[in-house]
Structure 1
Amino acid sequence: MADSSAPPSSWAGILLRLLIPCGILAAGWYGFQLLADKIEKPKRPEAKKVLLRSRVEEINLVDYPVVIKTHAVVQPHNLVTLTSQVSGTVAHISPAFEVGAYFNQGDVLVEIDPSDYETALAIAESELDAAKSELKLARLVEERKLRLVESNAVSQGEVETASASREQSEANVSLAETKVQQAKLNLKRTKILAPFDGRVMSKLIGIGQLAGTNSPLGDVFAIDYVEVRLPISGEQREFLDLPEFSDDAELMVHFRDGILSSDKFAWSGKIVRTEGVLDENSRDLFAIARIDDPFGRKSEKPPLRIGQPVIASIEGRVLHDVIALPRSAVRQLDQVVLVHRQEKTLLPMKIDALWADAENVIVSAASIPQGMLLATTPMPFTPKGAKIEIIPPATQGISIAGSTTQDADKSTTN
């Protein structure tokens, strides 16, 4: 317990010891304030108002012809495996029976050694001559018996026996004639003829090789026309009038090479029928298109190869009084941005497409409000009702110091 009777000088000492450090701190703070520069906080710039800008296009009613595009592969309409109907050694092969070679109907493509069949024909003809001689003799005997039976020189039984012998000889002649015809047919079959105008796909036989009955000799296909099997989806079928019967109108089809992107190679064809059965996996309907003279032998067009992939463009129905929106102006597949013509404000909206292809999205006229323009410039955000600045169409010439190159040329000339 502090002594209350302590002298005043002790209290003054204590107070002095406390004031000295406080004064030092106060002097230091004051000096720091005098020496330190005041940090001025920069004023925040006023927020700039960002005005959206976009190019626009007019929205007009049009009649839009639908074109269905699909991919397929060229196929022969008639592919045949040639076989031999007789056996024997291959004696000759035509130069037209090489892979890729052309041939005409009736050309001899392969020939089997005919020696055995010529001998067989000679034997059959000899047997026919013998049978004819026997028939001649049997008829003479029958006639003689018939004369003698009138005078009772021979019995009726002998006459009947003579008639039976004549009938047997006639049967032998018919049989011999059939053998001759068969021998001639076998000899004819030693020459394998082209069944149509065509081209060789594969060759499976060589000279000196033994060909048996029904042995495959090679594959050939007709070249008068080819077929293309076109898959048509359910959505595409709504815009096509595919022929179902033989008297239905044919659809025009244009083909481009599916390998080369150039439009230089093009062919025209017609859809002549449909398969009538949906594919089990894709539920597509296959339409059969026909292309005449695919190898350009008459038209001098570039050849269309078997197995070649093609891109088909089919002429479909015409959509009347619709709006064709550029594909680039449609965002997220079903969204467009419209601009009010007078107020210059945005109106984003969803659309329900009637048809869409790589270039355009087709919508009904009732789905777009009247008095609107179509915004075609991509914008990061499109709030409804926001003001927009319309970018004018690009002028001709390149801008130089506020004037076009045409103006600069004029000033240079002056």
Structure 2
Amino acid sequence: MASKKQIILPLAVLAGGIALAVAFSSLKTPPEQKPLQDTRPLVSTQSVQLDTLTLDVTSYGIVKAKDETVLIAQVGGQVIAVADQFVAGAFVKQGDILARIDANDYEADLIEAQAGLAQASSALEIERAQAHVAQAEWERIKSDSSDAIASELYLRKPQLAEKMARYRSAQASVKRAKRNLERTYIRAPYDAIIKQRDISLGSVVNQGSRLGELSATSVAHIRLPVADSELQYLPNGGLGANVTLSAQYAGKLTHWPATIIRSEGVIDAKSRMSYLVAQFSKPYSAPSQPLRFGSYVNASIEGRTISDAISVPHHLVKNNKIAVLNDNLTLSFKTLDIVREHNGRVIAQGGLVEGEQLITSALEYPSEGMAVKRDTPATTSDVTQLALKED
């Protein structure tokens, strides 16, 4: 038979193990309950606002005068006077005297021509009197003899024609001498700014010598290159379109309004661009600041307008589709009716509805129906919708 000690010892060990297990069990911390995690991609949105947009076309050009004239001497001689305003950059009015060529020889030519005219006039009057006498004599002879025939020479008609020709030649000589005398005055042909002067006091010029160059200040022209693909956005090919010119003047950005007056009608062989010509009146009398010749300007040509349109960044559109956020916080794609892609933006006239939410965030792998969350703190309803999706 087993001894009492052999029975009690195992029972005591078992009881101690149970007690120790119960003690450890009471000390164990229950596991924490983890909250439900929202793993949806975070997106930013922008509300769709349809509007009327103008499809402006941008260009650039150099401001030039409509008329530029090189002054050429029409008579020769020494320059005896130069006007103070005949310097580069000065403004002159139409008819202003810029320089004077020595006129002594031309004054003498005029006196000589006038003397020749007086002689020719006197000879003509004498010949007319002689012709009158010859005509009267012939009338007397004719009354005495009906068979008499008067010759042209007898009536002095050839002589009278000769004297008339000499008189007219003398008149032409006087006119030519007066014109040459007037040409000794170098005048401005229109209101202008002096671009260059090529003579000085005492210079000797010949007929055809260059005296200077000036530019008319009445009208400025700017040739604007436009790509052929851009012409579709301009009504009537751009003719008559309003243009806004902009450039830096005295360190400040300044704008001037102009108008497209014509197209050059050909494509440039080098640039493959069409050229429209903008016109601006009185560039040096502009209300804001003068539009100086030679300035480089940027131009915005007013294009046709489209209604119910939207402009979005180009990176949001792929394969003519754009991502929108649905009311149930899912992503879907809308196909756009693209009108134009320009300067990193896409202009569309159809495909979106006013008030829709565009997704403006960059998503790595967007897909139709993908669950997303707004770039705002999560709400109870958002978490509930997520839990239902996971269930």
TM-score with structure 1 setting the length: 0.71
Task: Find out whether 1:301 has 2:292 as its counterpart.
Answer: no
Task: Find out whether 1:207 has 2:201 as its counterpart.
Answer: yes
- Report what 1:312 is aligned to: 299
Distance in 1 between residues matched to 2:303 and 2:108, nearest whole Å: 65
| Residue-by-residue CA offset, 1:282-327 (whole Å, 9 max, x unaligned) | 432211111112112xx432111112111111111111222322x2
Larger mean CA deviation between 162-171 and 282-291 belongs to 162-171
Question: Post-superposition shift, 1:361?
Answer: 1.9
Contact 1:348–1:382 (CA under 8 A) maintained in structure 2: no
Contact 1:295–1:301 (CA under 8 A) maintained in structure 2: no
Contact 1:253–1:289 (CA under 8 A) maintained in structure 2: yes
Question: Post-superposition shift, 1:139?
Answer: 3.6
Question: Post-superposition shift, 1:182?
Answer: 0.7
Distance in 2 between residues matched to 1:110 and 1:134, nearest whole Å: 40
Q: Decide whether aligned partners of structure 1 residues 185 and 371 sit closer, same or farther in structure 2, where only a CA change above 3 A counts.
A: closer
Q: Decide whether aligned partners of structure 1 residues 354 and 374 sit closer, same or farther in structure 2, where only a CA change above 3 A counts.
A: same
Task: Give the letter aligned to residue 299 of structure 2.
Answer: A
| Correspondence for 1:280 among 265, 269, 281 | 269
| Correspondence for 1:224 among 193, 211, 218 | 218
| Correspondence for 2:54 among 40, 65, 69 | 65
Q: Decide whether aligned partners of structure 1 residues 332 and 133 sit closer, same or farther in structure 2, where only a CA change above 3 A counts.
A: same
Distance in 1 between residues matched to 2:355 and 2:181, nearest whole Å: 86
Question: Post-superposition shift, 1:200?
Answer: 1.2
Q: Decide whether aligned partners of structure 1 residues 123 and 51 sit closer, same or farther in structure 2, where only a CA change above 3 A counts.
A: same
Gaps of 5+ in 2: 1-36, 143-148, 378-391
Question: Post-superposition shift, 1:359?
Answer: 7.2
Distance in 1 between residues matched to 2:85 and 2:178, nearest whole Å: 26
- Report what 2:177 is aligned to: 183
| Correspondence for 1:253 among 228, 243, 249 | 243
Task: Give the letter aligned to residue 228 of structure 1.
Answer: I
Q: Decide whether aligned partners of structure 1 residues 331 and 139 sit closer, same or farther in structure 2, where only a CA change above 3 A counts.
A: closer
| Correspondence for 2:168 among 134, 151, 174 | 174
Contact 2:48–2:353 (CA under 8 A) maintained in structure 1: no
Contact 2:198–2:210 (CA under 8 A) maintained in structure 1: yes
Larger mean CA deviation between 75-84 and 128-137 belongs to 128-137
| Correspondence for 2:346 among 318, 336, 361 | 361
Task: Give the letter aligned to residue 215 of structure 2.
Answer: F
Task: Give the letter aligned to residue 373 of structure 1.
Answer: Q
- Report what 1:330 is aligned to: 316
Contact 2:49–2:354 (CA under 8 A) maintained in structure 1: no
Q: Decide whether aligned partners of structure 1 residues 232 and 374 sit closer, same or farther in structure 2, where only a CA change above 3 A counts.
A: same
Larger mean CA deviation between 275-284 and 375-384 belongs to 375-384
Aligned to 1:300, what secondary structure does the other structure show? coil
Distance in 1 between residues matched to 2:299 and 2:134, nearest whole Å: 84
Q: Decide whether aligned partners of structure 1 residues 157 and 329 sit closer, same or farther in structure 2, where only a CA change above 3 A counts.
A: closer
| Correspondence for 2:373 among 355, 374, 389 | 389
Question: Post-superposition shift, 1:215?
Answer: 1.8
Larger mean CA deviation between 84-93 and 155-164 belongs to 155-164
Question: Post-superposition shift, 1:268?
Answer: 0.2
Distance in 2 between residues matched to 1:58 and 1:110, nearest whole Å: 70
Aligned to 1:323, what secondary structure does the other structure show? strand
| Residue-by-residue CA offset, 1:38-65 (whole Å, 9 max, x unaligned) | xxxxxxxxxx864422220112332222
Task: Give the letter aligned to residue 364 of structure 1.
Answer: Q
Distance in 2 between residues matched to 1:258 and 1:353, nearest whole Å: 35
Task: Find out whether 1:108 has 2:108 as its counterpart.
Answer: no
Higher normalized contact order (CA 8 Å, seq sep 6+, divided by chain length): 2
Matches within 5 A, 1:81-160: 81-145=70-134, 150=140, 160=154
Distance in 1 between residues matched to 2:349 and 2:109, nearest whole Å: 80
Aligned to 2:310, what secondary structure does the other structure show? strand
- Report what 2:325 is aligned to: 339
Question: Post-superposition shift, 1:267?
Answer: 0.2
| Residue-by-residue CA offset, 1:224-260 (whole Å, 9 max, x unaligned) | 111111112222211111368xxx7x21111111688
Calculate the aligned-residue CA RMSD, in Å. Answer: 3.4
Identity %: 25
Alignment: residue pair count: 336
| Residue-by-residue CA offset, 1:59-118 (whole Å, 9 max, x unaligned) | 233222212111122121111111111111112222222111111111112221111100
Task: Give the letter aligned to residue 236 of structure 1.
Answer: E
- Report what 1:24 is aligned to: none
Contact 2:243–2:278 (CA under 8 A) maintained in structure 1: yes
Runs (4 or more) in structure 1 with deviation over 6 Å come to 155-159, 258-261, 331-335
Distance in 2 between residues matched to 1:75 and 1:107, nearest whole Å: 23
Gaps of 5+ in 1: 1-47, 394-414
Question: Post-superposition shift, 1:142?
Answer: 4.0
Contact 1:243–1:272 (CA under 8 A) maintained in structure 2: no
